[in-house]
A and B are shown apart, each in its own frame.
Chain A
Amino acid sequence: MNAVAERGYLLVRSDGVLWGVSNGDVRRLTRQGLRYHLEVGGIALGVDEVVGVVPELVVWPVSSALRRFWPEKAGGLAVHAEAPLVIIDPRRLPRALCIEGIEGEIADGEGRH
């Protein structure tokens, strides 16, 4: 599959967690056996399921209370079909989704590799 349309969000699930990534940030989406690989920010992410595409989401910032107990960086939080989801920040990809072996290449918060 090629990059998805520019507008909206691609919703994916991995280990039971729902994630959203802006369509414009997805460079490639491929099937890899039972899983899917996304290329976001030059890094491959592995997910269990592609849930679908939604035209828009209301995105809330990550609260300081959540940041205190969750070290991952995220682009925000949203709700889809009564389920909370995490918006992926393409500059600070979630380690939980990064495919093994490339984790060391993840950029730091400033985009440096």
Chain B
Amino acid sequence: MLKKKMIKNFTWPLKVATHGVESTRLYPEVMMELPAAERGIHELDATTCIGCGSCARVCPNSCIEMVPYKYGNPLKNKKMQFPQIDYGRCMFCGLCVDECPVECLKMGKNVVMTGWEREDIVKGPGDIAARKHSAKEVAEFEAEAKRIAAEKAAAKKAAAKEGAAKKAPAKAAGEKAPKKAEGANDKSKNGGAS
């Protein structure tokens, strides 16, 4: 047992020096057991976040900023933003978690945070995301979005052609409207399914 620890004492500095492990050694070596209610570092479910910004508004220290994030919930709104938390200011009060309407922001049991720079403790949505879409899924979403856009463009073109072909303008307008509505329905269905 003692030998093991002695070896660790030698190997740890080496590891830090060679591998660039950016953290201090844990002591006591076994972390104490934390309760389920623990308010530690946030965990974001980026796939369900709706980017409403409630968390940013309720934060007493205004340490939450909404930033764009690629691997989040994509289809609702392209410009949707996700929370980025500055842990230099966060006081772990948990108001953001209470305020979240879709319960996508939680506080986990991870309470350890180290870094060399001040920027290291500003955690973007990518750092705090416990669930996010993979690159493949994002590519699929993008393809889907492209397909929908193409379909829409095609529908528009067709409508325009039809409108040009028919001479009576009142009649053209009457036909155009239902088609547009159909396209919108299609899009929302796709979004819901994915």
The judgment on whether A and B are partners is no
